[in-house]
């Protein structure tokens, strides 16, 4: 077939966006239980891996570079617009502190896990740990951002995606099952008897009516994201490059994160549709990372990487327990805090609905806080992993 490989700009973008749309359509139209354990994200990454390694898509293209410079910063601004630190603190109170303990656990556990298994990994495997830290502190958007900050390739990104999905299958049942130990956990941490009731009252006060975005809303969001990206690019070009810690790309991501957090405190955060549009760009970027991955390199490191990630996740859990004990927090809040770190907004809402349905909106607020701190904390984590390797 003369039209293969797909090399034109529009052809590559059409293929990647089609892959994203197809797997979400497949999830919705079939309702297969498989997607409860293997979310569309996995297939959105793996399909371009197969296509690029079989010659249908190119493994390098100016399109991929343009997506890194444009799609990635735009998606970060859109995701950060909905961060509401005040709302999360008002509802979950000291539970936010437990999430920060969990974040510290991710930062400490990553270099420890890498140090234990590094003998079986390639020298650049520290980048995979750094990328996964982005997901485990914030979410998929942070994973993509950190990959740009530390110049991770598609292979390292693939290891992170594999580790994220595999360990999630181990960790989520633990978080859900922890509800059975609520009484013993309360005795262990010394939580107040009326804490849950107070959280429910605060959660009810924070609930707001959601509305569908209009055409002006979407145009405004695109304008905001492009303006913020442009500003970050202009400022980053004036800042010094400090090898190997602060490249121009690193400065750009740190600046765009700061701008996005700043905008979340303005009335612009009220514009409908920012999270949905941002997540659409996230999945498009994940497909792009799959297209530049080398399948054989990722496969050879899978087992030791998963071993290190398993050690890492239990260190995170230990820090969550420590935070719950010191801050006298209930098991429901502790489980939501861990889910907000490890799984992002989707997982936090699943865990919250299982533990206490009324806390679902607050769990999403907590997960969005992870988006805010994820790039900064995960970048530091990546540097720690680099030192260990």
Domain range summary for the chain, segments of one domain joined by +: 70-388
Radius of gyration of the chain (CA): 20
Contact 133, 111 (CB under 8 A): no
Place of tokens 């420590």: 322
What Cα–Cα distance (Å) separates residue 388 from each residue in 103, 247, 307? 19, 20, 17
Compute CA 10 distance to the chain's CA centroid, rounded to the nearest angstrom. 28
pLDDT, tens digit, for every residue of 78-91?
999 988 777 777 77
Whole-prediction pTM: 0.88
Residues 167 and 148: their CA atoms lie apart, in Å, by 23
The secondary element (H helix, E strand) that includes residue 272 is: none
Report CA dihedral (284, 370, 103, 382) to the nearest 10 degrees.
40
Q: What angle do the packed helices 140-149 and 248-263 form, to 10 degrees?
A: 150
Which of 41, 109, 39, 151 is CA-nearest to residue 307? Answer: 109
Q: Residue 204 pLDDT more than 80?
A: no
- Asked if 199 and 93 count as a contact pair (C-beta separation under 8 A), the reply is yes
Structure confidence at residue 362 (pLDDT): 78
Give the pLDDT confidence score for residue 208 in this predicted structure. 66
What tokens appear for 219 in the block? 């145009």
On whether the CB atoms of residues 132 and 156 are closer than 8 A, the answer is no
* Helical packing angle, 331-342 and 344-355, nearest 10°: 160
CB 105 within 8 A of CB 360: no
d(CA 339, CA 318): 14
Averaged pLDDT for residues 374-380: 94
Check: CB of residue 164 under 8 Å from CB of residue 131. Answer: no
Q: Phi/psi zone of residue 344: left (φ > 0), alpha (ψ -120 to 50 degrees), beta?
A: left
Count of all residues that appear for the chain in the document: 389
Instruction: Inform me whether the pLDDT recorded for 2 exceeds 60.
Output: no
Instruction: Tell me what the pLDDT averaged over the chain comes to.
Output: 89
pLDDT tens digits, 28-58: 898 777 887 778 888 998 899 899 888 899 9
pLDDT, position 129 = 97
| pLDDT one-digit tens code per residue, 264-286 | 999 999 999 998 999 899 899 98
Across the range 290-312, mean pLDDT stands at: 87
Cα gap 100→104, rounded to integer Å: 6
Return the number of other C-beta atoms located less than 10 Å from residue 252's C-beta: 24
Indicate whether 210 pLDDT > 80: no
Task: Give the pLDDT of residue 345.
Answer: 80
Quote the pLDDT of residue 248.
86
CA distance 329 to 335: 10
Whether residue 206 is predicted with pLDDT greater than 70 in this model: the reply is no
pLDDT at 294 > cutoff 90? no
- How many angstroms separate the CA atoms of 163 and 385, rounded? 16
Q: What do you get for the CA distance between the two ends of the chain, in Å?
A: 45
CA distance 173 to 108: 23
Greater confidence (260 vs 3) lies with 260
Share of the chain above pLDDT 90, in %: 54
β partners of residue 242: 246
Distance from the Cα of residue 202 to its chain's centroid: 27
On the question of pLDDT at 231 being above 80, the answer is yes
Calpha distance 332→338 (Å, rounded): 10
């Amino acid at each position: 077939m003369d039209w293969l490989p797909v090399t034109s700009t529009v052809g590559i973008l059409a293929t990647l966006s089609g892959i994203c749309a197809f797997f979400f359509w497949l999830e919705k139209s079939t309702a297969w239980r498989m997607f409860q354990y293997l979310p569309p994200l996995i297939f959105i990454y793996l399909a371009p891996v197969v296509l690029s390694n079989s010659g249908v898509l190119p493994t390098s293209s100016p399109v991929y570079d343009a997506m890194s410079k444009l799609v990635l910063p735009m998606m970060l601004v859109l995701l950060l617009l909905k961060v509401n630190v005040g709302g999360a603190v008002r509802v979950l109170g000291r539970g936010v502190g437990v999430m920060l303990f969990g974040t510290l656990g991710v930062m400490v556990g990553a270099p420890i896990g890498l140090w234990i298994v590094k003998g079986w990994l390639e020298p650049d495997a520290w980048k995979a740990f750094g990328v996964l830290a982005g997901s485990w502190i914030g979410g998929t958007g942070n994973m993509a951002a950190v990959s740009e900050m530390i110049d991770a390739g598609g292979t390292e990104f693939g290891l992170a995606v594999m580790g994220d999905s595999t360990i999630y299958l181990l960790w989520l049942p633990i978080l859900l099952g922890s509800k059975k130990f609520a009484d013993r956990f309360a005795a262990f941490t010394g939580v107040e008897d009326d804490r849950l009731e107070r959280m429910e009252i605060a959660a009810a006060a924070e609930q707001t009516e959601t509305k569908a975005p209009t055409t002006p809303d979407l145009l405004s969001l695109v304008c905001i994201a492009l303006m913020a990206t442009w500003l970050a690019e202009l400022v980053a070009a004036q800042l010094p490059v400090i090898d190997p810690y602060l490249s121009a790309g690193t400065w750009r991501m740190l600046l765009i994160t700061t701008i996005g957090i700043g905008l979340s405190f303005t009335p612009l955060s009220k514009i409908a549709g920012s999270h949905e549009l941002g997540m659409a760009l996230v999945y498009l970027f994940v497909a792009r990372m799959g297209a530049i991955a080398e399948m054989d390199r990722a496969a050879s490191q899978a087992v030791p990487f998963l071993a290190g990630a398993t050690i890492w996740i239990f260190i995170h859990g230990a820090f969550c327990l420590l935070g719950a004990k010191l801050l006298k927090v209930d098991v429901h809040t502790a489980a939501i805090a861990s889910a907000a770190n490890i799984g992002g907004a989707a997982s936090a809402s699943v865990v919250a609905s299982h533990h206490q349905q009324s806390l679902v909106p607050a769990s999403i607020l907590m997960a969005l806080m992870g988006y805010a701190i994820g790039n900064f904390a995960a970048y530091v984590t990546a540097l720690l992993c680099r030192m260990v390797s």
